[in-house]
Amino acid sequence: MKPFLLENKFVFDFYSISIKKNIKGNIRYGRQNLDFREGVMAFSSPKQIFSFDDSIDLSELSGWYLIFHKDFIRNYDLARKIKNFHFFSYELHEALHLSQKEEATIDSIMRNIQEEHLTSIDSFSQDLMVSQIELLIHYSNRFYNRQFITRKNSNHDTLIRLEKILEEYFESNKVSELGLPTVKYISFQLNISPSYLSDLLKNITGQNAQRHIHDWIIEKAKEKLTTTSLSINEIAFQLGFEYPQYFSRLFKAKTKLSPLEFRNSFD
């Protein structure tokens, strides 16, 4: 499967996992430049766009690139599970930074895949390669979770920025223009991908981005229910709900009380 070329842009129809080093010039993946420092591991999913400038220099390129089409894993359990590994849709500045020991583990698995690929094909070849790819992905997932932990201070800074974005969203006129804040909107303001934001928040708070936003909105609703005389409908509209019944349904799901029951409990 060859990449589809548009001027200096590539559209790939396959999954890729790579460690690439010593590339001079700028290669972009979506809106971000790729980072080719030592031990940086990147992932991409089908239909992603890569672009490069005319100054690109591959003369000192090193590392490796694993590419596989979705059809290669279609008849395996990995085809269903791969969607759960969100790092295939992370931005490149959210790449996985490996320790020397972690990089050695990843390189060892990659060599197993390469050796199997170069061995004479038999009825076991594809099974073994797919199992090694899945092992590679599971180790990557483990190392990403380690990265979330070791970058705890930075992640908490992101959480503080998120809270500020939500505050400004409701203080400005955006809620009347755009309705409820979305994960896509928040992640764009933070300059990180929606998938990375959800995984980061899940590591810090135990909840994904959508649930975190909902919890924040419910806390805002509680404040309005207990400190204002606004009607339930007025509060719902102020919080960005197009239909008040959706607000009441979410509020009850989160608190086990309807908005009116919650207000009356304080009265």
Q: Per-residue DSSP letters for 3-20?
A: PEEETTEEEE-SEEEEEE
- CB count within 10 Å of CB 225 equals 20
pLDDT at 35: 47
Given a contact cutoff of 8 angstroms between Cβ atoms, the answer to whether 110 and 54 are in contact is no
Q: In the prediction, which pLDDT does 41 show?
A: 85
DSSP 3-state of 62: strand
Rounded Cα gap, residues 267 and 98, in angstroms:
56
Within 10 angstroms of residue 17's Cβ, the number of other Cβ atoms is 23
pLDDT at 1: 43
Measure the CA–CA gap between 187 and 195, rounded to whole angstroms.
9
Q: How many helices (H) and strands (E) does the chain have?
A: 11, 9
Burial class (CB in 10 A: 0-12, 13-18, 19+), 116: middle
pLDDT the model gives residue 157: 82
Give, as one character, the DSSP assignment of residue 206. Answer: S
In terms of C-beta distances under 8 Å and separation of at least 24 residues, what long-range contacts does 221-230 make, across chains too?
221/247, 221/251, 221/259, 222/255, 222/262, 225/259, 225/262, 225/263, 225/266, 226/263, 226/266
User: What's the CA gap between 162 and 148, in Å, rounded?
Assistant: 17
Four-residue CA torsion sign, 156, 158, 162, 167: positive
Q: Which residues of the chain have pLDDT under 70?
A: 1-10, 21-39, 49-61, 92-93, 267
Please count the residues of the chain: 267
